[in-house]
Chain A
């Protein structure tokens, strides 16, 4: 039993309430303590990434051993796929907290901000580490309710309305998820993911489970903002404070949306071809519609939020292709390539979208506006922001040698090898339109010469914000190394093996 696993959940939860108590008595306790907690979590998550490899670690909470080889306790599972998402959550979380040391000075209730942030991180860590369905629901609710409060943090008109829309749709999603879990429990009488897979081997009532799969897809699709469930995303991500936008768009829609869909569909349900085609279609629609809606925007953060929908479409498209290939026959090399491309793009998108939201926050911090028509010529006066923004824009458009190029290349090659020529063509077209979109962003924000900026003093942003942006851009460059064979076998291949091999996950857990 790996002793590090409960630390990921205990430390943020205890830290959140400790910040609320100590923050009244000691000044500046909240920021440094929150940064320290998240730095520690980032270090142990990188350590787990380096040491996990092909083994599964299990933690039986409360020490309840299985009876007649049926798990009866709460299990926390750490395998190859979990450590990748865990590292993303904690590293982006640490950089966001460091960024917000100087950004949050404008708001008054700093104690509450850091406490809610730690609760959100604790909830997300719990979702990726849990091994049974109801714990996923409870930790999902913890993190999502904290994010409702954080979106409405500076209580202006726009932020409250965006938070209300987010709450209604998020509440509907939670209801659908709970209903799906209830229907699964009715038939199988157990809640452990590996044990449900064992019960499915005995008998599988396909029409009933297709209904349950549709409910789960709608519920988690609302959390992951796939078309047609995307209506809350532009308002919520553009009205939140910038470090929270980076966390929401870079981590939350992945950890509580896409991660659970991938985990349940690959490791729990049996893959049927109709559901796989549906998932691939939803991914393609997200990819295309997201980028077309983003072109006409003049508000920076709304533009970035719509392009988040498009990039998440890439991940769902490639994972869907893998599902179609696995459901047709046995596990083939093309399916492994498709799922690898999807996971790689997931990691890349966290890095460059977080960096883009940090840049938008830096621009808003100095200029006080988010409208592209009122900016210009910032490349001379804000050199760090403009250099990191250039790196991020080239990454998201897929220009070599940055990381976006490699992940999009793997997705397009997998589409061509599997003979889905239309999907490959759409992926290339959307990539070109994304390049046009971000060239527009760069030109209007940084390189356009206007003379309305000469009568305002514009200087570079404070040190914590520059530090976070520079470290994130270094991550963007270093992540392109994941495509090369040595590092890829150590990091990505264990995750893909757990996902695409049908019986590996459940046989490990039942055996322990």
Chain B
């Protein structure tokens, strides 16, 4: 039970970073931390007591493996998180060129 609580604490750390930080790059990194907590939850969901890593070795057959499906899902989701972070970094670096600052309180030309 305590491992699920640690996942939730990691999510809260990421959420605190997105809400309170002013630097754009810190917001992007906190969003990345928030997504990593979900990957941990996924990988923990597939654990079966007494299971080993799901690699088939034809020499000695094993009775129980852990669930390999969440591991495949987490692999795909990590790549999607990479794409989201790369997209955000591209927009941030162009924002720096236009506005001259990384501070999010200066970037408010759209209102109403």
Contacts and interface: CB of A to CB of B under 8 A. Distances in A.
Contact of B41 (A141, A145, A161, A179): A179
18 contacts: A141-B80, A141-B83, A145-B87, A148-B91, A149-B87, A155-B94, A157-B109, A158-B109, A161-B95, A161-B109, A161-B110, A164-B95, A168-B31, A171-B35, A178-B35, A182-B41, A185-B42, A302-B112
B20 interface: no
A420 interface: no
Contacts of A178: 35, 38, 42, 77
Bin chain A's interface residue count.
20 to 34
Of B69, B84, B91, B94, the most chain A CB neighbours within 10 A belong to B91
A175 B37 CA distance: 10
A17 to B, nearest CB: 15
A148 B92 CA distance: 13
B42 A182 contact: yes
Interface in B55-108: 67, 69-70, 73, 76-77, 80, 83-84, 87-88, 91-92, 94-95, 98-99, 107-108
Nearest to A179: B38
A152 B70 CA distance: 34
Nearest to B96: A160
A429 interface: no
Contacts of A174: 35, 80, 84
A397 interface: no
A189 B48 CA distance: 12
Contact of B38 (A141, A182, A189, A235): A182
Contact of B91 (A134, A156, A157, A164): A164
Contacts of A239: 110
Q: In the A-B complex, list the 3 residue pairs whose CB atoms are closest, starting with the nearest.
A: A186-B45, A141-B80, A178-B38
Interface string A133-167: 01001100100010011001001111011111001
Contacts of A155: 94, 98
Contact of B94 (A137, A160, A167, A175): A160
Contact of A160 (B35, B70, B77, B91): B91
Contacts, number: 81
Nearest to A138: B76
A145 B99 CA distance: 24
A175 B45 contact: no
A167 B87 CA distance: 9
Contacts of A167: 84, 87-88, 91
A134 B95 contact: no
A13 to B, nearest CB: 15
Nearest to B18: A168
A235 B42 CA distance: 34
Nearest to A166: B91
Q: Which of A155, A162, A179, A182 counts the most B-chain CB atoms under 10 A from its CB?
A: A182
A191 B83 CA distance: 24
A157 B80 contact: no
A28 B88 CA distance: 31
A171 B33 CA distance: 12
A168 B91 contact: no
A141 B84 CA distance: 9
Contacts of A172: 18, 31, 34
A168 B92 CA distance: 12
B76 to A, nearest CB: 6
Given A134-B76, A179-B41, 13 more contacts: A141-B84, A148-B91, A160-B91, A160-B98, A161-B110, A164-B24, A164-B95, A167-B87, A172-B31, A174-B80, A178-B77, A179-B38, A185-B42
Interface string B22-38: 00100100010011001
B87 A148 contact: yes
A118 to B, nearest CB: 17
Contact of B107 (A156, A161, A186): A161
Contacts of B110: 158, 161-162, 235, 239
Nearest to B14: A175
A321 to B, nearest CB: 33
Contacts of B41: 179, 182
Nearest to A178: B38
A191 B67 CA distance: 13
Nearest to B41: A182
Contacts of B31: 168, 171-172
A189 B42 CA distance: 12
B91 A185 contact: no
B95 A182 contact: no
A168 B27 contact: yes
Nearest to A163: B91
Nearest to B92: A164
A147 to B, nearest CB: 11
Report which residue of B18, B24, B38, B76 has the largest number of chain A beta carbons within 10 angstroms of its beta carbon.
Answer: B38
A83 to B, nearest CB: 28
